[in-house]
């Protein structure tokens, strides 16, 4: 077994004192940036490993009154302001903020699509600031892991919220989309509905690798075959979507519809139908700004909290984002009663 590499080993290799090595590895401003880089490169080459929990504890003791370790919150959405105005992302951020603060961490924000922020520069900034790890929010268009984040994932702990990434898959936390759709069907059947239908943006279903539609189709298995309706996917302009919806309604005659958007409510009004009198409506992502809807709470704030917990655990274990067997954590949804459904049968 090769001898353990210590700070003294690194100091002798670089030609500085052990104290300088210690300061550099803690990103102290007392050591120049060039020297810190040289010491870190030497430490990496020699295979030095700092006990992360001990290192953090010692740093906190030295800076007892002011120390707060930093984690990065990387917004991968195309809109830089989506952390505040997107219908879903702010809930993740709320949970992340609350849990990070309670654990003594501060957040440093980055926008992945900033044209001035190239991959190498992003990594350099994060390392220079002593950032412990990173959380990614806002992957909404596809589940391919952004190439720009690979250098970060190789160097630091990194957790993705909301979706499972591919090429590579990283540790991630998200709602149980399959279980959510299945529970929505089960609640509809419990209320007495017999012909549930799903109207969904196909891009969203692809983002979650078909888990919405899979949960819906599995939930239908207890129904007679003639009551198992195919999903209607939204993938065109509003007028064309409505035309397809009208044909789908006439052909399959659902008595309750699961959806993610308010479009369906407006389309039903055009057809002279209203929930819950003529048909049931169930929102697959119940939101506070539409409290009258029946639907499923995704608890995205809990996802944010759990993502912080996962990241902090990785920091303490000295892990990076790239792992042979990345962990996944699913957050259970819950049913929210509302005014867009009604009970059709007695229990």
Residue-wise pLDDT for 103-140, tens only, equals 889 999 999 999 988 999 999 999 999 999 999 999 98
Question: Nearest CA to 326 among 160, 129, 78?
Answer: 160
SS3 89: helix
Whether the per-residue pLDDT at 277 is higher than 80: the answer is: yes
Q: Are 245 and 265 spatial neighbours (Cβ–Cβ below 8 Å)?
A: no
Overall domain count for the chain: 3
Whether the per-residue pLDDT at 17 is higher than 80: the answer is: yes
What mean pLDDT do residues 88-93 have?
95
158 plus 256 within the same structural domain: no
pLDDT of residue 308: 97
Report yes or no on 18 lying in a domain. yes
Residue 189: pLDDT band (50, 70, 90) is very high
pLDDT of residue 237: 64
Report yes or no on 184 lying in a domain. yes
74 plus 167 within the same structural domain: yes
Count of beta carbons in the 10 Å neighbourhood of residue 310: 22
265 plus 184 within the same structural domain: yes
Whether the per-residue pLDDT at 48 is higher than 70: the answer is: yes
Domain hosting 210: range is: 177-297
Distance CA 29, CA 63 (A): 14
311 plus 283 within the same structural domain: no
33 plus 86 within the same structural domain: no
Report yes or no on 149 lying in a domain. yes
pLDDT of residue 98: 94
Q: What's this model's pTM, rounded to 2 decimal places?
A: 0.79
Report yes or no on 338 lying in a domain. no
Q: What percent of the chain has pLDDT over 70?
A: 92
Q: Where residue 165 sits, what CATH number does that domain have?
A: 3.40.50.2300
Top pLDDT among 215 and 28 is at 215
What mean pLDDT do residues 65-73 have?
80
274 plus 182 within the same structural domain: yes
206 plus 236 within the same structural domain: yes
Report yes or no on 339 lying in a domain. no
SS3 172: strand
Q: Is 278 exposed, middle or buried (0-12, 13-18, 19+ CB in 10 A)?
A: exposed
252 plus 265 within the same structural domain: yes
189 plus 282 within the same structural domain: yes
pLDDT of residue 68: 78
What mean pLDDT do residues 192-199 have?
97
Give CA separation, 320 vs 97, 126, 323, in Å. 22, 14, 7
pLDDT of residue 192: 96
Report yes or no on 345 lying in a domain. no
Residue 45: pLDDT band (50, 70, 90) is confident
Whether the per-residue pLDDT at 61 is higher than 70: the answer is: no
164 plus 260 within the same structural domain: no
Whether the per-residue pLDDT at 25 is higher than 90: the answer is: no
What residues contact 121, with CB distance under 8 A and at least 6 apart?
none
11-15, 158-162, 338-342, range with the lowest pLDDT: 11-15
Q: Are 223 and 248 spatial neighbours (Cβ–Cβ below 8 Å)?
A: no
Top pLDDT among 23 and 50 is at 23
Residue 97: pLDDT band (50, 70, 90) is very high
Q: Are 17 and 286 spatial neighbours (Cβ–Cβ below 8 Å)?
A: no
What mean pLDDT do residues 195-221 have?
95
Per-residue pLDDT tens over the stretch 291-320: 999 999 999 999 999 999 999 999 999 999
Own/partner pairs, 272-275, CB within 8 angstroms, 24+ separation: 275/339, 275/340, 275/341
247 plus 224 within the same structural domain: yes
pLDDT of residue 289: 87
Report yes or no on 306 lying in a domain. yes
225 plus 274 within the same structural domain: yes
Report yes or no on 56 lying in a domain. no
pLDDT of residue 179: 98
pLDDT of residue 208: 94
């Amino acid at each position: 077994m090769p001898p353990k590499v210590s700070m003294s080993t690194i100091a002798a290799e670089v030609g500085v004192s052990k104290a300088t090595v210690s300061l550099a590895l803690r990103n102290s401003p007392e050591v120049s940036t060039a020297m810190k880089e040289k010491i870190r490169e030497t430490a990496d080459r020699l295979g030095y490993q700092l006990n992360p929990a001990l290192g953090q504890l010692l740093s906190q003791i030295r800076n007892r009154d002011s120390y707060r370790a930093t984690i990065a919150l990387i917004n991968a959405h195309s809109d830089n302001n989506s952390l505040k105005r997107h219908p879903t992302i702010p809930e993740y951020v709320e949970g992340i903020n609350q849990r990070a603060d309670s654990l003594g961490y501060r957040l440093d924000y980055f926008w992945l699509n900033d044209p001035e922020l190239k991959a190498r520069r992003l990594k350099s900034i994060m390392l220079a600031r002593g950032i412990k790890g990173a959380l990614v929010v806002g992957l909404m268009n596809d589940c391919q892991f952004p190439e720009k984040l690979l250098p970060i994932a190789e160097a630091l702990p990194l957790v993705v919220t909301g979706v499972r990434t591919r090429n590579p898959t990283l540790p991630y936390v998200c709602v149980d989309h399959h279980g959510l759709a299945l529970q929505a069907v089960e609640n509809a059947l419990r209320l007495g509905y017999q012909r549930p239908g799903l109207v969904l943006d196909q891009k969203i279903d692809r983002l979650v690798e078909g888990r919405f539609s899979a949960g819906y189709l599995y939930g239908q298995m207890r129904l007679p075959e003639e009551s198992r309706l195919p999903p209607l996917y939204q993938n065109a302009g509003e007028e064309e979507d409505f035309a397809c919806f009208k044909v789908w309604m006439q052909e399959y005659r659902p008595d309750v519809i699961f959806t993610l958007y308010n479009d369906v409510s407006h389309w039903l009004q055009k057809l002279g139908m209203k929930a819950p009198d003529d048909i049931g409506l169930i929102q697959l992502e119940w939101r506070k700004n539409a409290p009258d809807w029946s639907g499923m709470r995704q608890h995205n704030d809990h996802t944010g909290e759990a993502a912080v917990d996962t990241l902090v655990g990785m920091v303490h274990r000295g892990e990076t984002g790239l792992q042979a067997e990345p962990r996944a954590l699913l957050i259970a949804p819950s049913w929210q009663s509302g005014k867009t459904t009604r009970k059709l049968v007695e229990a």
